[in-house]
Amino acid sequence: MSFDYDIDFDKTDFREQPELYRVGRGEQGVLLVEPYKSEILPYWRFKTPDIAKESSDKIYQLFLDYKENDDFVGMDMARKFLQMGYTRSRRYANYKGGKKYDEDGEINDRDIDEVKAKSAEIFEEKWIKAREDEEYLKKKKDHQKKYG
């Protein structure tokens, strides 16, 4: 089932109502689902490899904390932030200023920034670790079977 954008995100606490959460594709809902957005977003940074390492380590630790607390929604949100760290770092690594398209909608030429590429690699490593975690995969399957 796809992510449900019709929910009143300003009034929904997904820790209290995990049955309303839908995994969706990729990073869908990453900046909407509370209280997780507020718990994870302050740590999400990727400007330099050192910052990306600190950020991805902290977010992965939150993933493990949510896992320990049997909180699938938190685990999935942490996984999404790790994925978003990778994709945004990659975008900035490939295109100056992170701008893939010019004013006319044409794709800009790639200009690889090795520093940002390293940040992307750091996030990718933690993202893969989270998305392939056996317990995460089981909880994801169970959640989708139970709630859609």
Mean local confidence (pLDDT), 104-132: 95
Amino acid 105: pLDDT: 93
Q: Is the pLDDT of residue 111 over 80?
A: yes
Amino acid 91: pLDDT: 94
Mean local confidence (pLDDT), 91-102: 90
Q: Is the pLDDT of residue 67 over 90?
A: yes
Residues whose CB is less than 8 angstroms from the CB of residue 10 and which lie 6 or more positions away in sequence, other chains included? none
Half-sphere CA count of 16, side-chain side, radius 13 A? 6
Q: How far apart are CA 50 and CA 83, in angstroms?
A: 18
Amino acid 37: pLDDT: 98
Which alpha helices (H) appear in 41-105, and where do they start and end? Answer: 49-68, 72-94
Residue bearing the bigger pLDDT, 31 or 96: 31
N residues, the chain? 148
Mean local confidence (pLDDT), 30-52: 97
Amino acid 1: pLDDT: 59
> Where do the structural domains in the chain lie, given as residue ranges?
58-95+107-148
SS3 content of the chain, % helix, strand, coil (to 5): 60, 0, 40
Mean local confidence (pLDDT), 17-40: 95
